[in-house]
Structure 1
Protein backbone atom coordinates (compact mmCIF):
# COMPACT_ATOMS: atom_id res chain seq x y z
CA UNK A 1 0.00 0.00 0.00
CA UNK A 2 2.88 2.34 0.77
CA UNK A 3 4.33 1.82 -2.72
CA UNK A 4 1.01 2.76 -4.33
CA UNK A 5 0.76 5.96 -2.30
CA UNK A 6 4.38 6.82 -2.99
CA UNK A 7 3.98 6.23 -6.73
CA UNK A 8 0.82 8.35 -6.78
CA UNK A 9 2.61 11.12 -4.92
CA UNK A 10 5.54 11.06 -7.31
CA UNK A 11 3.25 11.21 -10.35
CA UNK A 12 1.29 14.12 -8.88
CA UNK A 13 4.52 15.90 -8.01
CA UNK A 14 5.82 15.57 -11.56
CA UNK A 15 2.54 16.87 -13.00
CA UNK A 16 2.45 19.85 -10.63
CA UNK A 17 6.09 20.56 -11.41
CA UNK A 18 5.39 20.57 -15.15
CA UNK A 19 2.50 23.01 -14.72
CA UNK A 20 4.77 25.27 -12.70
CA UNK A 21 7.44 25.18 -15.42
CA UNK A 22 4.85 26.10 -18.06
CA UNK A 23 3.63 29.02 -15.94
CA UNK A 24 7.20 30.24 -15.44
CA UNK A 25 7.81 30.09 -19.19
CA UNK A 26 4.62 32.05 -19.91
CA UNK A 27 5.54 34.65 -17.29
CA UNK A 28 9.05 34.98 -18.72
CA UNK A 29 7.63 35.46 -22.23
CA UNK A 30 5.22 38.10 -20.90
CA UNK A 31 8.04 40.02 -19.21
CA UNK A 32 10.39 39.72 -22.21
CA UNK A 33 8.40 40.36 -25.40
CA UNK A 34 11.62 40.89 -27.37
CA UNK A 35 12.08 37.10 -27.44
CA UNK A 36 8.68 36.56 -29.06
CA UNK A 37 5.50 34.98 -27.76
CA UNK A 38 5.41 31.79 -25.72
CA UNK A 39 4.72 28.88 -28.04
CA UNK A 40 3.17 25.70 -26.77
CA UNK A 41 4.81 22.54 -28.00
CA UNK A 42 2.30 20.93 -30.35
CA UNK A 43 2.40 17.53 -31.86
CA UNK A 44 0.22 15.15 -33.70
CA UNK A 45 -2.79 14.41 -31.61
CA UNK A 46 -6.46 14.97 -31.21
CA UNK A 47 -7.75 15.83 -34.66
CA UNK A 48 -5.40 14.06 -37.05
CA UNK A 49 -5.00 10.38 -37.70
CA UNK A 50 -1.40 10.39 -38.82
CA UNK A 51 1.55 8.21 -38.06
CA UNK A 52 4.60 10.11 -36.92
CA UNK A 53 3.05 13.48 -37.72
CA UNK A 54 3.36 13.00 -41.47
CA UNK A 55 -0.10 14.32 -42.38
CA UNK A 56 -0.54 16.93 -39.68
CA UNK A 57 -0.86 20.57 -40.61
CA UNK A 58 1.65 22.82 -38.88
CA UNK A 59 0.05 25.78 -37.15
Structure 2
Protein backbone atom coordinates (compact mmCIF):
# COMPACT_ATOMS: atom_id res chain seq x y z
CA UNK A 1 0.00 0.00 0.00
CA UNK A 2 2.88 2.33 0.77
CA UNK A 3 4.27 1.79 -2.73
CA UNK A 4 0.99 2.96 -4.27
CA UNK A 5 0.90 6.08 -2.12
CA UNK A 6 4.51 6.92 -2.95
CA UNK A 7 3.87 6.40 -6.67
CA UNK A 8 0.72 8.53 -6.56
CA UNK A 9 2.53 11.26 -4.66
CA UNK A 10 5.44 11.25 -7.10
CA UNK A 11 3.16 11.48 -10.13
CA UNK A 12 1.13 14.27 -8.53
CA UNK A 13 4.32 16.16 -7.63
CA UNK A 14 5.61 15.85 -11.19
CA UNK A 15 2.32 17.18 -12.56
CA UNK A 16 2.29 20.13 -10.16
CA UNK A 17 5.95 20.80 -10.97
CA UNK A 18 5.25 20.81 -14.72
CA UNK A 19 2.35 23.25 -14.28
CA UNK A 20 4.61 25.50 -12.19
CA UNK A 21 7.31 25.44 -14.88
CA UNK A 22 4.74 26.41 -17.53
CA UNK A 23 3.52 29.33 -15.40
CA UNK A 24 7.09 30.54 -14.86
CA UNK A 25 7.90 30.37 -18.58
CA UNK A 26 4.68 32.19 -19.52
CA UNK A 27 5.48 34.92 -17.02
CA UNK A 28 9.03 35.20 -18.37
CA UNK A 29 7.71 35.48 -21.93
CA UNK A 30 5.33 38.26 -20.86
CA UNK A 31 8.10 40.19 -19.08
CA UNK A 32 10.58 39.74 -21.95
CA UNK A 33 8.76 40.22 -25.28
CA UNK A 34 12.08 40.42 -27.15
CA UNK A 35 12.49 36.64 -26.74
CA UNK A 36 9.33 35.95 -28.74
CA UNK A 37 5.96 34.49 -27.82
CA UNK A 38 5.53 31.55 -25.47
CA UNK A 39 5.16 28.32 -27.44
CA UNK A 40 3.51 25.20 -26.10
CA UNK A 41 5.34 21.93 -26.60
CA UNK A 42 3.47 19.18 -28.40
CA UNK A 43 1.92 18.05 -31.64
CA UNK A 44 -1.35 19.97 -31.44
CA UNK A 45 0.11 23.29 -32.53
CA UNK A 46 -0.56 23.07 -36.26
CA UNK A 47 1.94 23.88 -39.01
CA UNK A 48 5.34 22.28 -38.71
CA UNK A 49 4.72 20.41 -35.47
CA UNK A 50 5.76 16.75 -35.42
CA UNK A 51 6.96 17.00 -39.02
CA UNK A 52 3.44 17.22 -40.46
CA UNK A 53 2.74 19.68 -43.27
CA UNK A 54 0.16 22.43 -42.82
CA UNK A 55 -1.83 21.41 -45.89
CA UNK A 56 -2.16 18.16 -47.73
CA UNK A 57 -1.20 18.25 -51.41
CA UNK A 58 -4.13 18.19 -53.84
CA UNK A 59 -3.10 14.82 -55.29
CA UNK A 60 -2.90 13.12 -51.88
CA UNK A 61 -6.02 11.11 -51.11
CA UNK A 62 -7.03 10.34 -47.59
CA UNK A 63 -8.47 6.85 -47.22
CA UNK A 64 -10.89 6.16 -44.38
CA UNK A 65 -9.82 3.56 -41.83
CA UNK A 66 -10.98 0.01 -42.45
CA UNK A 67 -13.60 -1.37 -40.06
CA UNK A 68 -12.39 -3.97 -37.62
TM-score range, shorter chain: 0.7 to 0.9
- In structure 1, the residue matched to 2:4 is 4
Residue by residue, what CA displacement relative to the aligned partner does 1:7-55 show, whole Å, maximum 9, x if unpaired? Answer: 00000000000000000000000000011110111316xxxxxxxx454
Max Rg structure: 2
- In structure 1, the residue matched to 2:65 is none
Count of residues paired in the alignment: 50
- In structure 2, the residue matched to 1:26 is 26
Matches within 5 A, 1:1-59: 1-43=1-43, 53=50, 55=52, 57=54
Q: Relative contact order (C-alpha < 8 Å, sep 6+): which is higher?
A: 1
TM-score by length of 1: 0.73
TM-score by length of 2: 0.64
